[in-house]
Structure 1
Amino acid sequence: MKKILLYCLLTGLTISTVFAQKDVDAKKILNQVSAKYRSYNVVKADFTFTYEDKQASTKDSQSGTLISKSKTNKYRVSIYSPDNATTEQEIISDGKTQWTYIKKDKEVEISDVDNSNESLNPAQIFTIYEKGYKYVYNGDEKIDGKTYQVIDLTPEDEKKPFFKIRLSIDKAKKQIYSAVIFDKNGSRYTYIVRSFTPNVKVPESTFTFDKKDHPGVELVDLR
């Protein structure tokens, strides 16, 4: 579960299929979401991540928090224990260096941030459609009295292991509520945004890993 979650966050939900086209209505909605997100300096999003393995009939969930400064490609993702009492994992970037920390292993991997078009980091999670994707608007749906606009994304690269991302966008707020990634092997990865706070005040130290705060942790430099 831990490795799967890190994999999904670091690969940026890459997917694949050949059926969708770039639809005018979908583009209009996505542009509204992107424009609103980019108007903020720093955002904080609390989310729930669920992994479903259809073949093994298993389902696991964890919660986490994303703090993102998209204009400078900085982010911090914290994944919590099942009881939400402690932080189990963190992915941190200052825009140039990325630290991937797993508390149980007492290890942090250090790598360069991948800024290529093949990569998508957590700071870009709300603007994932802008490069290399096709999209189609599938109408609206109501959940608990709220209206969500449903858009399917597919990449132009057909070699990826996923075949679809389904976004549900809060029609009133123009914010992404959920993202469901459909794997070719039948598995599903679901992110639900439980709260979204724009323009939060955080120190710059939020986007770096300080070894002094983590005594006994081994640094593994992969650069």
Structure 2
Amino acid sequence: MIPLSTLSPRTPITVDVVLPCLDEAGALPRVLERIPDGWRGLVVDNGSTDGSAAIAAGLGATVVHEPRRGFGAACHAGLRAATADVVCFCDCDGSLDPGLLTAFVRRVADGESDLVLGRRRPTGRGAWPLHARAGNYALSRMLHTRTGLRLHDLGPMRAARREALLGLGLTDRRSGYPLEMVVRASDAGWRITEQDVPYRPRTGKSKVTGTWRGTWQAVGDMRSVLNAPVPAGRVVR
């Protein structure tokens, strides 16, 4: 396989978009219709009871079933099911527009970045509650102490090469998965950049950061990631 960093803009690049899903029937139609033409949407159903999986399949998405609950479990199941050159991740609650991932993929394909993260810019009342912002700020500070990276956001929207992501050996299957990806990528010497993205109020109720308690439980998961030792040559698939 040709390294993605050497591909020219004219070289065909395949892209899979992983969409972790738990009861997102209300948002799925708009999210899936915003996926760029030619890309594949991978909806990872994490135990929905509202018909999300059937809706996704009916709209042409590939549905992956992950019975083990957890944001990281759903994301990693999607990564393992992906087959494209580049894998993107995006929430499927309607807060983020997957159409904006074209700029992310371009930066990866052009060799400008190895991992592109979406820096959320809230638009609309209630898009990013205070407790969620506070948790994100605390984690950004802890990440800087651990890696030296100066990032503004550790949000869920991102893109990187599939084979490289698998090679990071990610093990967290809870809320720490997005942070672990950044930490392991930094440890591996990846070029990590941010891209501004509008962040809108989500459809439905948040499963993780909808309350102070949920936010700080997620922060606890991520703190464990920051305190964990770097795995020595271990690859988990």
TM-score normalized with structure 1 length? 0.24
Of structures 1 and 2, the larger Rg is shown by 1
TM-score normalized with structure 2 length? 0.24
Higher-strand-fraction structure: 1
Higher-helix-fraction structure: 2
